Amino acid sequence: MGSTIRIIQYGIGPIGAAIVRLITKKENAEIVGAIDIDPAKAGQDLARVVGLEKDLGVVVSNNAEEVLRIPADIVVHSTASYLTDVQDQLTRCLAAGHNVVSSCEELSYPLRKYPEISRTLDDVAKQSGVTLHGTGVNPGFVMDKLALTLSSVCQSVERVSVTRIVDASKRRQPLQKKVGAGMSEKEFRAQVEAGRIKHHGLPESAGLIADGMNIEVDEIAETIEPVIATGDVTTEYLEVKRGEVAGVRQICKGTLRGEEKLHLELQMYVGAHDPADTVRIIGMPDLTLLIPGGTHGDLATVAAVVNAIPAVVQAQPGLKTVADIPVRYYGVF
CA distance 179 to 197: 6
- What does the DSSP assignment read for 77-114? E-S-S-HHHHHHHHHHHHHTT-EEEE--GGGGS-TTT-
- Pairing outcome for strands 5-10 and 29-35: parallel
Q: How far is the CB of 25 from a copy of itself (least distance, A)?
A: 8
Q: What is the DSSP letter of 27?
A: T
Q: How far is the CB of 189 from a copy of itself (least distance, A)?
A: 33
Q: How far is the CB of 228 from a copy of itself (least distance, A)?
A: 30
Q: Please say which residue, 47 or 279, places its beta carbon nearer to a copy of itself.
A: 279
Q: Please say which residue, 190 or 332, places its beta carbon nearer to a copy of itself.
A: 332
Q: Please say which residue, 182 or 297, places its beta carbon nearer to a copy of itself.
A: 297
Q: Please say which residue, 107 or 240, places its beta carbon nearer to a copy of itself.
A: 107
Partnered with residue 313 across adjacent β-strands are none
CA distance 190 to 194: 6
Q: Please say which residue, 42 or 154, places its beta carbon nearer to a copy of itself.
A: 154
Q: How far is the CB of 74 from a copy of itself (least distance, A)?
A: 17
Write out the residues near a copy of itself by the rule CB under 8 A: 22, 25, 137, 141, 145-146, 148-157, 212-215, 283-285, 287-293, 295-296, 299-300, 302-304, 306-308, 316, 323-332
Q: How far is the CB of 122 from a copy of itself (least distance, A)?
A: 16
235 phi/psi in degrees, rounded to 5: -110, 180
